[in-house]
Amino acid sequence: MSINYDGKVAIVTGAGNGLGKSHAIALASRGAKVVVNDLGGAVDGSGGSVSAAEEVAAHINAAGGEAIANAASVTDEAQVAAMVGAAMEKWGRIDILVNNAGILRDKTFHKMTLGDFRTVIDVHLVGSAICTHAVWSIMREQNYGRVVFTSSPSGLHGIFGQANYGAAKAGMIGMMNALHLEGAKYNIHVNALSPSARTRMTEDLGIPEPILEQMTPEAITAAMLYLVSDAAPSRAVVSCAAGGYARAYIVETDGVYLPPDAQTPEEIAERWGEISSTDNVHYYDNSSGPNMNFMAKAQAFAQKQ
């Protein structure tokens, strides 16, 4: 199976460097028309210039592709609306959105200002929502869309010193779950990446050089390309780094049922091992799953009485 994007239009945020640059170039090389979005700021979000986006767009155009540069801040609704409007005016549709823009303001939580907490949430989570909202109606009307959120192992599993970043990245999973359900009727597939790669955001984390050499952005881009293809799944979280790929799931243990007279903290403490046992876990398609599991246990208990 050959994957290409002939006739498709893509927006990639944070595409002036790192993962976003790799994503934009790869999409264009496979036929997509690309909006290369990048505010052009530093890793912490300060500053701004369109030059980074322009360089990537120029590279794509020189290689025979088609791209335009855009320096909209993903946190500014008017700027994002103008970016989407420019793409629609030029190409008449938007098929793919890769929410990749991000910043870092790492500190331990007791040293972190709430301003730094909010700013990281605004860029990663709210910014992804703003961009997705701006293209959502277009995708619904054309009965086609592919949206990717860039989550992180920090959101799935936690990393010391990244309470703000981890919260934003975990929030994307909740947004993906809801939009997967809302977009299904309109052939809009919504997925997430959980990547680790060598970029300017990771080079100062103390990762040994031999490992960094394997953590190429291109390895992550391969997973992104699949997640925005015609054959893409939906509601998939792909964990990827250094050529390794896995699917991450949120699951629940089978749990226990406690009758009304045993619904106490002492009983929960007594049966904590059984409650926590991973011998039998469940993956649910939506939020009704856990409730159905527990209601079935309650009914089974009642039938025994």
Would you please indicate which residues are annotated as catalytic (active-site) residues? 165
Find the angle CA(138)-CA(63)-CA(82) to the nearest 5 degrees: 30
d(CA 216, CA 199): 8
Residues 75/121, Cβ–Cβ less than 8 Å: no
User: Using a CB cutoff of 8 Å and minimum separation of 24, what contacts does 289-297 make?
Assistant: 289/252, 290/252, 293/252, 293/254, 293/255, 294/255, 294/257, 297/255, 297/256, 297/257
Mark 147-156 as b/e (b = at least 16 C-beta within 10 Å): bbbbbbbbbb
Instruction: State which H helix or E strand residue 99 sits in.
Output: strand 96-99
d(CA 121, CA 171): 9
The token pair at 214 is 């394997």
Q: Where are the alpha helices (DSSP H) in the chain?
A: 18-29, 51-62, 77-91, 114-121, 127-142, 153-156, 163-183, 209-214, 217-227, 265-270, 272-276, 288-304
Q: Taking the CB of residue 102, how many other CB atoms lie within 10 A of it? A: 26
Mark 201-238 as b/e (b = at least 16 C-beta within 10 Å): bbeeeeeeeeeeeebbbebbbbbbbbbbbeebebbbbb
